[in-house]
Amino acid sequence: MTVQTIKTTPFDGQKPGTSGLRKQTSTFVEPNYLENFVASIWVGIGGVTGKTLVLGGDGRYYNKEASQIVMKMAAASGATKVIVGQDGLLSTPAASHMIRKRKTDGGVILSASHNPGGPKADFGIKFNMPNGGPAPESITNAIFENTKVISEYDILDAPDVDLSVIGLSKMGDMVVEVVDPVVDYAALMEEIFDFAAIKDMFAGGFTLCFDAMHAITGPYATEILEKRLSAPEGSVINGIPLPDFGEGHPDPNPTWAKPLMDLMMGPDAPDFGAASDGDGDRNMIVGKGAYVTPSDSLAMLAANATLVPAYKDGLAGIARSMPTSGASDRVAEALGVPAFATPTGWKFFGNLLDAGKATICGEESAGTGSNHVREKDGLWAVLFWLNILAARKTSVQDLMVDHWSKYGRNYYSRHDYEAIDKPMAEKLMDDLRGKLADLGGTVAGGLTIESADDFAYDDPVDGSRTEKQGIRVLFKGGDRLVLRLSGTGTVGATLRVYLEKVVTDPNGLDMDPQEALAPVIAAAEELAEISTRTGRTAPDVIT
Ligand code: VG1
Ligand code: CO
């Protein structure tokens, strides 16, 4: 087995986005495309000589082939060991846990998360640090810089390792340990939650439907919900991971998880519904006839956290991404703990978690997590909800109503305009940015603007500053509009418009969210001319 040094030339656009590098699969399979990026990861993290890495992916098309390439490149560059999930599988939270538990030097996750999979869809890769969290911008920038100048990379000329068999083998001098992807993660969940109480609730007839959307969470959900917690067999649907996710779009929101939404809003709804995304780090929570917005879910988990054994002593703080609604801020205030607002993407929560400043974090895009790992965690959120329902012996609907009556309600929605022309989208943002300074005191959609800015984040732990993280328009009375461009899309640009209205009047807690938000929606149109510029009459996705 010899190390081959392969000559290569840079590819344009290998800049990691919100969560790693995501491109169309057809791009990733081009000769040297993945290899250039992997070699640049090695450079960005200061080399892999003597290091132990975790490797796993969400099972999408090209996962297996890419796993072999990553291992051969790690071996060629002197890595000591790679711990890899059986068949190359690991959910993102399980990978984060594995990195931490085994005290490794980080890990490579092969996933494009909620983006569809298959030869005609998307693929992705990201690096997580020894703390288990996504590489911060200092590292992703270093990786990107190397992709621009790369001229060669090393790869071992070796046969593939059989990833279907659990156990130890070697690739050159490097040890390959194939591990069960589920066991350690399931054990961690048992440590965090009151499994006995949840099990009793199922024994008492509580029903659930978990839609794994043919993505990575299936094996985890089946093991934990059906086997360990004795939820009735069949509670997990679409539980077998498929390379193309059954041609679905594994994004757990009311648009893409429509069959589950229809079930939950219909006469035969079980007590609880949930779905997860491609790589298992997101969650959608639905009660019987009651959809929980992710921003509300974060607030409700935080407000009830002491019912969960792992958080019984309370929370150090609550962190949310800036576009996420302020519902959790009011819980933090009531609990007397700090509230943080970070840019979109989980990489910004890591420092707060590591420093012990925050215990629970969440994003409006259906990501919630805690200091148990350094990623968002879909199944963890589901178990958190189940633990709360078991402890409070209540329904999702009643818990929501109770929460709003105590804290008020943040009506919230996100409107996405997908695959729009990129230069046009950038001009829309630039033009709006240019107007920000003059918006204070003016009226849009009948609402008076209090202030407007382009969000910049000063990390309270390492002092780094991240700019241009979304345009915020704050209206008098607390309503809010946020616009930003997605950093995970692979075709054109995706414009995300985040809408929020706060109501504390007890008589105003039962409105239809889109109706409640109508003035903010009108303001968005007036300020950013979305329909005129995009030519779209309606968003592609409404969450
Ligand atoms: C989206 C979400 C963001 C999330 C990111 C990765 O990013 O908005 O909240 O952290 O996806 O999630 P963007 O840049 O497209 O808005 V995952 O589960 O797709 O890795
Ligand atoms: Co994901």
Of all ligands present, the nearest one to the C-alpha of 484 is 1
* Ligand 2 centroid to residue 326 C-alpha, Å: 22
Q: List, in sequence order, the alpha helices (H) in 30-84.
A: 33-44, 63-76
What pLDDT score was predicted for residue 363? Answer: 97
Of all ligands present, the nearest one to the C-alpha of 496 is 1
Give Dmax (Cα) for the chain.
73
pTM for the model stands at 0.94
| Helix then strand then coil, % of the chain, to nearest 5 | 35, 25, 40
Pocket of ligand 1 (CB under 6 A): 18-19, 113-114, 277, 281-282, 321, 344-346, 363, 365, 367, 486-488, 496
What pLDDT score was predicted for residue 508? Answer: 82
* Ligand 1 centroid to residue 238 C-alpha, Å: 23
- Identify the DSSP state of 30: S
Token pair, residue 79, equals 């890595």
Residue 105 Cα distances to 65, 111, 133, angstroms: 23, 19, 11
The rounded distance, in Å, linking the Cα atoms of 163 and 179 is 9
Q: Probe ligand 1: pick from 344, 364, 429, max atoms within 8 Å of CB?
A: 344
Of all ligands present, the nearest one to the C-alpha of 93 is 2
Q: Return the residue whose CA atom lies nearest to atom 8 of ligand 1.
A: 365
What pLDDT score was predicted for residue 481? Answer: 97
Q: Return the residue whose CA atom lies nearest to atom 4 of ligand 1.
A: 345
* Ligand 1 centroid to residue 430 C-alpha, Å: 22
User: Among 366, 370, 203, 371, which residue's Cα sits nearest to residue 291?
Assistant: 366
Phi, psi for residue 499 in degrees, rounded to 5: -125, 135
Q: List, in sequence order, the alpha helices (H) in 393-467.
A: 396-407, 422-435
The rounded distance, in Å, linking the Cα atoms of 71 and 34 is 12
Q: Probe ligand 1: pick from 15, 18, 115, 216, max atoms within 8 Å of CB?
A: 18
Of all ligands present, the nearest one to the C-alpha of 368 is 1
The rounded distance, in Å, linking the Cα atoms of 290 and 294 is 13
Catalytic annotation, residues: 113
The rounded distance, in Å, linking the Cα atoms of 117 and 455 is 32
Q: Return the residue whose CA atom lies nearest to atom 5 of ligand 1.
A: 345
Which pLDDT tens digits describe the chain residue by residue (543 residues)?
Answer: 799 999 999 999 999 988 899 999 999 999 999 999 999 999 999 999 999 999 999 999 999 999 999 999 999 999 999 999 999 999 999 999 999 999 999 999 999 999 999 999 999 999 999 999 999 989 999 999 999 999 999 999 999 999 999 999 999 999 999 999 999 999 999 999 999 999 999 999 999 999 999 999 999 999 999 999 999 999 999 999 999 999 888 999 888 899 999 999 999 999 999 999 999 999 999 999 999 999 999 999 999 999 999 999 999 999 999 999 999 999 999 999 999 999 999 989 999 999 999 999 999 999 999 999 999 999 999 999 999 999 999 999 999 999 999 999 999 999 999 999 999 999 999 999 999 999 999 999 999 999 999 999 999 999 999 999 999 999 999 999 999 999 887 788 999 999 999 998 888 888 899 999 999 999 999 999 999 999 998 999 898
Cβ 107 vs Cβ 128: under 8 Å: yes
Q: Return the residue whose CA atom lies nearest to atom 18 of ligand 1.
A: 113
* Ligand 2 centroid to residue 55 C-alpha, Å: 16
Q: Which helix (H) or strand (E) holds 472?
A: strand 471-475
3-state secondary structure of 201: helix
- Which residues have C-beta within 8 Å of that of residue 447, sequence separation ≥ 6? 475, 476, 477, 479, 519, 520, 523
The rounded distance, in Å, linking the Cα atoms of 205 and 162 is 43
CA quadruple 491, 88, 245, 91: dihedral sign: negative
Q: Return the residue whose CA atom lies nearest to atom 17 of ligand 1.
A: 113
Q: Probe ligand 1: pick from 115, 298, 412, 488, max atoms within 8 Å of CB?
A: 488
